[in-house]
Amino acid sequence: MKLFIDTANISEIEEASKWGVVSGVTTNPSLIAKEGQKLEDVIKKIVELVDGPISAEVDEGLAVDMVKQAKVLAKIHKNVVIKLPMTMEGIKACRELTDLGIHTNVTLIFSVHQALMACEAGATYISPFMGRMDDAGFKSKELIEDIVTLTSIHGYDTQIISASIRNLQHINDAALAGSDIATVPFKVLKQMVNHPLTTAGLKIFADASKK
Ligand code: E4P
């Protein structure tokens, strides 16, 4: 499973890109707003740091307006992926952008039927949200398993980005369900090397070396 970083923070991307395990970046309007900069300006910086798919989300609205904004964003760099909302206008925009050869990521997916619509619209990526699914009292693990089944039995090329990752269990569940990608916040990515027994083992070895 590929790992993307889910942030618009340049320092976090700079540090994580040095680890050699991050192959893409996802942003959303909330993450961009936190940085207090224009979407285009943030995306221009990110494409210089990570050589992989960089998702930039358009403002939700009519397909015609989203396509217009998408064309401007797509011109920034070949790695820019247009993130579209899971609405009928978003699906229309997805089909149009796919036909133009522009890569897309349909976001805010919480069901198999939504995933199916996005796959049929030719989405390059779909983003089912794990944390928000659990918050609403549903089982995010089952959502990812079901969407993996959907794409595999029907042979869709669309790649699954497990999103809204809040903890290590989400990563384990996404990986074992067969998700293509997980997009992970910086804090959780950093925790991925940890295990209490690793920490304990390191101390035992360090103490032994001193003797
Ligand atoms: C996905 O691409 C989104 O940016 C993200 O994972 C949303 O996560 P949240 O539920 O923590 O806001």
The pLDDT tens digits along the chain (211 residues) read 999 999 999 999 999 999 999 999 999 999 999 999 999 999 999 999 999 999 999 999 999 999 999 999 999 999 999 999 999 999 999 999 999 999 999 999 999 999 999 999 999 999 999 999 999 999 999 999 999 999 999 999 999 999 999 999 999 999 999 999 999 999 999 999 999 999 999 999 999 999 9
The two beta strands, 80-85 and 54-57, are parallel
Pocket test for ligand 1, best of 57, 129, 140 (most atoms within 8 A of CB): 129
Q: 132 CB under 6 A from ligand 1?
A: yes
**DSSP character string of 50-65:** --S-EEEEPPSS-HHH
